[in-house]
A and B are shown apart, each in its own frame.
Chain A
Amino acid sequence: MELLRLENVTKRFGGLVAVNKVSFTVEKGEAIGIVGPNGSGKTTLYNLINGVYFPDEGRIYFEGQDITELPTHARAPLGMARTFQIPRPFGGATTRENVAVGAMFGHAKASVDEALEIADEYLKLVGIYDKGDVEAARLTPLEKKLMEVARALAMKPKLLLLDEVMAGMNPSDIDQLIELLKRVKEEEDISIVSMVEHLMHAITKFAERVIVMHQGEKLLEGPTMEVLNHPKVVEIYLGKKVV
């Protein structure tokens, strides 16, 4: 079953083409990695899927519905959730309230009381339950990332978009997070798209399929190990020019 489909999506900023004719699909319950160096158009791609920007060309479908020009706020209730590369907590509110906001306005569409319970559940899951009453602005960088994962999961999404969520974490934290994501993905049947710049090691443990972005274009797509060992990918990451 197809969950998300991008068809020839293009986004330009002035003269710069940030994303160029990118097409791919995400199946229900799938784990995909999007790999690409800085400036390869990964974050723009997320912003297009998310509705922060609208594409100049191409269409985007979610569960068969054309969402190309759907406003941002209307996408989360359909079952979309994301984290940010630099975490964006609602700093003045408590960690619990942050996660509850996700449950209230995301696909879960919970009432305030339900949302606060869901929040506790996911705070326990990611292991920061004891920080529930702390102002989110005072969390450590790692805790902020975990809070964002909890907030996104509390939305009960069908599609979870992770933006460099493992960057800056130590290996044991990464392993823990990957285990957690794998478990949630199985239990709640979520498709997860995870975007990374480096961390090839992490992506091999997690993604079933990998898409490689380069200079705004989709360079390669296929099974994880196959793609990551492809000569073109090796070239990009050794800094050589791709022909």
Chain B
Amino acid sequence: MRFFEKYASLIPVLLIYAILFAIGISFPGMWQPVAFIMFYITLGQAFNIFLGLTGYVDFGYVAFLALGAYGMAIAVDNLGGANLGYGIILIGLLLAILMASILSVAVGAVALRLRGAYFAIATIGVNEGFRYFVEGARLWGGSEGIIISGDMRNIFGRETANFISTFVSDILVFIIAILAAIVTILIMNRRMGYALMAVREDEDAAKVMGINVTKYKVMAFITSASFAGLIGASAWTLKMTYVFPSDVFLITYTVEAIVIVMLGGAGTLMGPIVGGLIYGILKYYLSITLPGFQLLVLAPLLIVIVVAFPDGVVGALRRRLTGNVKKYLR
């Protein structure tokens, strides 16, 4: 009973994923928009593990996606001749996690000792600092980036390579979304979830209660960064088959992640999914009606959310719910 109560909130999440998947494969032409929306849901979920659960904002979050994208590109680029088949994608994903988490440990170990505002300041340059490093030191192809479309054709053949970039990469995003939801609820139900709640509400009091706040913040940061790495590897490198520093270090993705989490409700399980759905659909149509000016709409939207609806859709909804229904919506 207790077990069911703790994990009941996963049911609606998985249901939404299943419905989206069903729509995507059943109706012609729907796979692409579904995958588009799923990217944003997954991005939101990954970021929520840090922003939502700790109450800290990382303005350089996109750097983790970028490193994940490079991880996959480096794996494919360097091990292309090793005849590993699909194994190379697995290696790429592992490398993506590794690289994103190494950067998160490096940044987190310094910055997460600091309080909110100082942490935010420390992160504001991470993505641009890293981009300048990649370009300046001519690392990983410098500003020319890494192109893996040729490698992919050599390894898998033209048809399979095409299948990977148009379908497998999207399926991976679905899997990451499911994993992220499970990890989120696991954290929330454990000591770590309670510790992070305390950090979010009152960090000094949390310390006095015996909570090693830096440890739990770093744990959340690494988890969130690892998921970002996976997203970068799947949704960018495998899908686009190239990595350019000017594309992958773009601050826009950080803004999108923030908007999705805040719109849906920071620190809730369902929030990033609702946020991702609303945002994904909105952007899909905006990119048709207002190409290149999404941020012009996004920025004021974020201001309005922060000023008028800081709890987001799910946060506000949860306040109105009582007892039995509430356990399904977290």
Contact = CB atoms under 8 A, between A and B. Distances in A.
A92 B194 contact: no
Contact of A76 (B189, B195, B209): B209
A72 B208 contact: yes
Contacts of A33: none
Interface in B208-222: 208-213
Contacts of A101: 194-195, 197-198, 206, 209, 211
A101 B2 CA distance: 19
B207 A72 contact: yes
A55 interface: no
Contacts of A199: none
Interface in A76-117: 76-77, 82, 84, 88-93, 97, 100-102, 104-107, 111-113, 115
A73 B194 contact: no
A97 B195 contact: no
B-side interface size class:
20 to 34
Nearest to A87: B205
Contacts of B190: 112
Contact of A50 (B191, B195, B208): B208
A105 B195 contact: yes
Contacts of A236: none
B144 interface: no
A102 B200 contact: no
A92 B195 contact: no
Contacts of B211: 73, 101, 105
Interface string A16-47: 00000000000000000000000000000000
A125 interface: no
A97 B209 CA distance: 13
Contacts of A52: 204, 207-208
B201 interface: yes
B189 A105 contact: no
A92 B210 contact: no
A73 B207 contact: yes
Interface string A46-75: 000011100000000000000000011111
Contacts of B189: 112
B209 A102 contact: yes
B202 interface: yes
Interface in B154-209: 189-191, 194-195, 197-198, 200-202, 204-209
15 contacts: A73-B213, A74-B210, A84-B205, A90-B205, A91-B202, A92-B197, A93-B198, A97-B194, A101-B194, A101-B195, A101-B198, A101-B209, A104-B191, A104-B194, A112-B191
Given A88-B204, A101-B206, A105-B210, 8 more contacts: A51-B207, A71-B207, A74-B210, A76-B209, A90-B206, A91-B202, A93-B201, A100-B194
